[in-house]
């Protein structure tokens, strides 16, 4: 970097510092809010989440032999079994007597989605 470029950057930073020291609280808050919003937008655009692809387990056509849990066609293990629900009946959950309506719909629905 040339000396003249370095001097211009130093002068610009001095002016900004002086302007900030003369700001009232509302101006300072507004300036920082705008800067934070720009930073948030940059982070969101470059985040890992924005590069993720949706994962689908397929249609819910499989049933566990032991607990009758539904599972997607691509959720089976290498032996062709689904074991994430009851681990071959090693885990037994008590029956839910009065489930919330949304849970009841999920458990009793005939939908394959």
Chain segment 24-54, per-residue pLDDT in tens: 888 889 888 998 988 887 777 665 566 667 7
Chain segment 90-113, per-residue pLDDT in tens: 888 888 888 888 888 877 777 766
pTM here? 0.38
Distance CA 111, CA 95 (A): 22
Residues with Cβ within 8 Å of 84's Cβ and at least 6 positions away in sequence, in order, are 71, 75
Do residues 113 and 60 lie in contact, with contact meaning Cβ atoms separated by under 8 Å? yes
Do residues 84 and 71 lie in contact, with contact meaning Cβ atoms separated by under 8 Å? yes
Chain segment 5-24, per-residue pLDDT in tens: 889 999 999 988 888 888 88
Do residues 33 and 41 lie in contact, with contact meaning Cβ atoms separated by under 8 Å? no
């Amino acid at each position: 970097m040339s000396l003249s470029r370095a001097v211009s950057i130093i002068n610009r930073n001095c002016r900004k510092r002086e302007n900030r020291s003369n700001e009232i609280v509302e101006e300072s808050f507004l300036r920082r809010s705008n800067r934070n919003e720009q930073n948030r937008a940059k982070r969101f655009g470059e985040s890992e989440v924005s590069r993720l692809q949706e994962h689908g387990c397929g249609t819910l056509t499989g049933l566990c032999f032991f607990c009758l849990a539904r599972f997607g066609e691509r959720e089976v293990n290498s032996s062709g079994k689904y074991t994430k629900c009851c681990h071959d009946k090693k885990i037994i959950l008590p029956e839910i007597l009065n489930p919330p309506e949304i849970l009841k719909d999920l458990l009793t629905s005939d939908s394959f989605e």
